[in-house]
Amino acid sequence: MFGKKIGAKRKYEHNVAGYVFISPWLLGFLLLTLWPIIQSFYLSFTQYSLLDSPTWVGTGNYEAIFQKDRLFVKSLVVTFTFVLFAVPIKLFFSLMVAMLLNRDLKGMSLYRTLIYFPSLIGGSIAVAALWRNMFGLDGYINHILSWFSIEGIGWVSNPKTALSTLILLSAWQFGSTMVIFLAGLKQIPRDLYESASVDGAGLFRKFYNITIPMLSPVIFFNLVLGIINAFQMFTSAFVITAGGPANSTYMYVLFLYEKAFKQFQMGYASALGWILLLIIGVLTLINFVASKYWVHYESDGGK
Amino acid sequence: MTSEAKRSWKSHLILIPFSLLMIYPVIWWIGASFKSTAELSLPSLFPEQWMWQNYTDGWAFSSQYTFTTFFANTLMMEFWNVLGGVLTAALVGYGFGRLNFRFRNFWFAVLMATLMLPAQVTVVPQYILYNKLGFVDSYIPLILPHFFGGGAFFIFLVVQFIRGIPRELDEAAQIDGASVYGIFFRIIMPLIKPALYTVGIFTFLWSWDDFFSQLLYLSSVEKFTVGLGLRMFIDQFEVQWGQLLAMSLLSVLPSAIIFFVAQKHFVEGIATTGIKG
């Protein structure tokens, strides 16, 4: 009887205390996430310029986007191209580097620092400025090329190469992905490799049969977040190329930003936001479904 | 030479050129920030004539406000962001990590789902909301979100950390008559310090680089952050590249200092979240 009472009291206490402790997040979620999402859905069916109140236009925004807006198509193509190249390149490089760094070696912490450092500052406007200068017509890159008697071009001002420059910049910032891979590699038991060596497996076989399956949950994590982040790329496209030349780097988020905060078409921009959410949602879902076929979790009994 | 020594020698052979390649643009950047415009396009790493005035002229490039204002503004904003992020991430992390309450799993799933939500979906209504409340062109839209748990990523990090702390410690304190609040302040808070360092460091770094929100919400020059100051620099009619690179370099200095001082917390922090995700 006595014990039961205490038990009941404790449970109650945790119910209240639990909500007290999570209240900052819960409040923020309701106020700055849930409510804006609902409102953005409503606004996407309206015309709204901040000055007048929103007017209902039904699916007008969506029709305009899908049927008439050439910039929408262009920005989608640019963004998908960026994601398609930037994400795998970054994943591949960071995995290779993580494997290189995953050993006990004198001076390893210095190597890690040097390799991680660019990622620390990579997303900032400062590095965007640096990049713009280095890849300019008179920039540093072209001078290096001239040593090999290759005539450089204005990498950033040429529509054919501008996007590649941004992809390269994103690849230069592979540090956080690399650190996550590194942590994953440290979890793989060494004796797996040793017994494979005894069986005569080479480097490539060990990589393919041990590293990849054992690391697959981490690869999956990096892939999902990598895609989501790549879709939201803004600063470098805004600062280095401003979407140009000839809209060749006109990223989706840049398009959304200009619609909302340059032209003040809030309804239209909300519709663009919802389309982005759907795209990312579908891709994430596909990722999760596909993961059943290639991601191995230890608790399932491995392979 | 033993085979072990041979292997490590080989690794150095790859690692040395590779890490130099990675850091090379940064070294070039340091040199270039001291160059005159004429020397900038030369491939030499360091200038023949050191232009210290790149720094002094760049610092005061706009006649009205200097980078002193921009740095002061950014650091003030950072103070509140870090304070809010660390404090509320600890509270919320404890709630999710230790307490049993109704619908906890549901709310936790919601929390994790917001991790994947692109900010662009909520940005328009948020702007409208702040605009109605008269907060546009103030720091409130930049600071306030950090007092709401500091973001899903940090809460998750603290939760993961708390789950690694043995429950016996809580239970012992409970037998001694401590309430959940007492346990949080006297047992958990001191133990999760490493995670909170990580939260603080990354809050600082990410808010420093959160150019999108700064661009959106700050419009008067007197309130500009360092990032917006640089943007103003770039938008000038004729960009003084030497000065711009000098100021850009200064703008990443705080992040660099924090990185070198707190290196240990970095790798630990990313590792705890990453591996268990």
pLDDT in tens, A145-169: 888 888 878 888 888 888 998 998 8
Question: Could B118 and A50 be called an inter-chain contact, meaning their C-beta atoms sit closer than 8 Å?
Answer: no
B221-224: long-range contacts at Cβ-Cβ below 8 A with a sequence spacing of 24 or more? B221/B62, B221/B64, B221/B65, B222/B65, B222/B69, B223/B73, B223/B137, B223/B138, B223/B139, B224/B65, B224/B69, B224/B70, B224/B73
In a domain, A185, yes or no: yes
Q: Residue A47 in 3-state DSSP?
A: strand
What is the average pLDDT score of chain A?
A: 85
What is the average pLDDT score of chain B?
A: 86
Residue B12 has pLDDT above 90, yes or no: no
Residue B42: its pLDDT value, please? Answer: 72
Cβ neighbours around A160 below 10 Å, total: 11
Question: Could B124 and A266 be called an inter-chain contact, meaning their C-beta atoms sit closer than 8 Å?
Answer: yes
Please tell me the total count of domains within chain A: 2
Say yes or no: A9 and A151 in one domain: no
Residue B177 has pLDDT above 70, yes or no: yes
Mean of the pLDDT values across residues B60-65?
81
Secondary structure E strands in chain A: 46-47, 55-56
Question: Could B129 and A180 be called an inter-chain contact, meaning their C-beta atoms sit closer than 8 Å?
Answer: no
Min Cα distance A90 → chain B (Å) is 14
Question: Could B149 and A24 be called an inter-chain contact, meaning their C-beta atoms sit closer than 8 Å?
Answer: yes
Residue A4 has pLDDT above 70, yes or no: no
Domains within chain B, CATH numbers bracketed: 63-276 (1.10.3720.10)
**Whether the Cβ atoms of residue A44 and residue A273 lie closer than 8 Å to each other:** yes
Residue B268: its pLDDT value, please? Answer: 59
Cross-chain CB nearest to B149 (options A28, A139, A144): A28
Residue B266: its pLDDT value, please? Answer: 64
Say yes or no: A284 and A171 in one domain: yes
In a domain, A8, yes or no: yes
**Whether the Cβ atoms of residue A224 and residue A287 lie closer than 8 Å to each other:** yes
Question: Could A121 and B263 be called an inter-chain contact, meaning their C-beta atoms sit closer than 8 Å?
Answer: no
Regarding predicted confidence, which is higher, B232 or A303? B232
Say yes or no: A8 and A117 in one domain: no
Residue A12: its pLDDT value, please? Answer: 54
Say yes or no: A21 and A139 in one domain: no
Question: Could B263 and A114 be called an inter-chain contact, meaning their C-beta atoms sit closer than 8 Å?
Answer: no
Identify all chain B residues contacting A272, using CB atoms and an 8 Å cutoff: 120
Say yes or no: A31 and A76 in one domain: no
Say yes or no: A24 and A146 in one domain: no
Residue A299: its pLDDT value, please? Answer: 54
pLDDT tier, B275 (very low <50, low <70, confident <90, very high otherwise): very low
Residues facing A47 on adjacent strands: A55
Say yes or no: A184 and A286 in one domain: yes
| Residue range(s) defining the domain that contains residue A113 | 70-300
Give the residue on A whose Cα is nearest the Cα of B235: A239
* Residues in CB range of B46: below 8 A, 6 or more apart: B31, B34
Regarding predicted confidence, which is higher, B63 or B195? B195
Residue B277: its pLDDT value, please? Answer: 32
In 3D space, the residue among A18, A288, A212, A266 whose CA is nearest the CA of residue B113 turns out to be A288
Task: For residue A244, give the CATH number of its domain.
Answer: 1.10.3720.10
Say yes or no: A130 and A1 in one domain: no
pLDDT tier, B232 (very low <50, low <70, confident <90, very high otherwise): confident
Cross-chain CB nearest to B101 (options A19, A221, A235): A19
Say yes or no: A29 and A79 in one domain: no
Min Cα distance B169 → chain A (Å) is 17
Residue A266 has pLDDT above 50, yes or no: yes
Residue B271 has pLDDT above 60, yes or no: no
CA distance A156 to A142: 12
In a domain, A61, yes or no: no
Residue B59 has pLDDT above 60, yes or no: yes
Question: Could B122 and A14 be called an inter-chain contact, meaning their C-beta atoms sit closer than 8 Å?
Answer: no
Residue A21: its pLDDT value, please? Answer: 94
Say yes or no: A166 and A280 in one domain: yes
Identify all chain B residues contacting A288, using CB atoms and an 8 Å cutoff: none
In a domain, A184, yes or no: yes
In a domain, A52, yes or no: no
Please provide the DSSP assignment of A165-233 as one string: HHHHHHHHT-HHHHHHHHHHHHTS-HHHHHHHHHTT--HHHHIIIIIHHHHHHHHHHHHHHHHHHHHT-
Say yes or no: A196 and A268 in one domain: yes
In 3D space, the residue among A169, A157, A172 whose CA is nearest the CA of residue A128 turns out to be A169
In a domain, A60, yes or no: no
Residue B203 has pLDDT above 50, yes or no: yes
Q: Which helix (H) or strand (E) holds B21?
A: helix B3-32
**Whether the Cβ atoms of residue B214 and residue B5 lie closer than 8 Å to each other:** no
In 3D space, the residue among B206, B202, B228, B208 whose CA is nearest the CA of residue B217 turns out to be B228
Residue A173: its pLDDT value, please? Answer: 82
Say yes or no: A177 and A134 in one domain: yes
In a domain, A290, yes or no: yes
Residue A138 has pLDDT above 80, yes or no: no
Residue A298: its pLDDT value, please? Answer: 63
pLDDT tier, A124 (very low <50, low <70, confident <90, very high otherwise): confident
In a domain, A85, yes or no: yes
CA distance A98 to A84: 22
Identify all chain A residues contacting B114, using CB atoms and an 8 Å cutoff: 29, 33
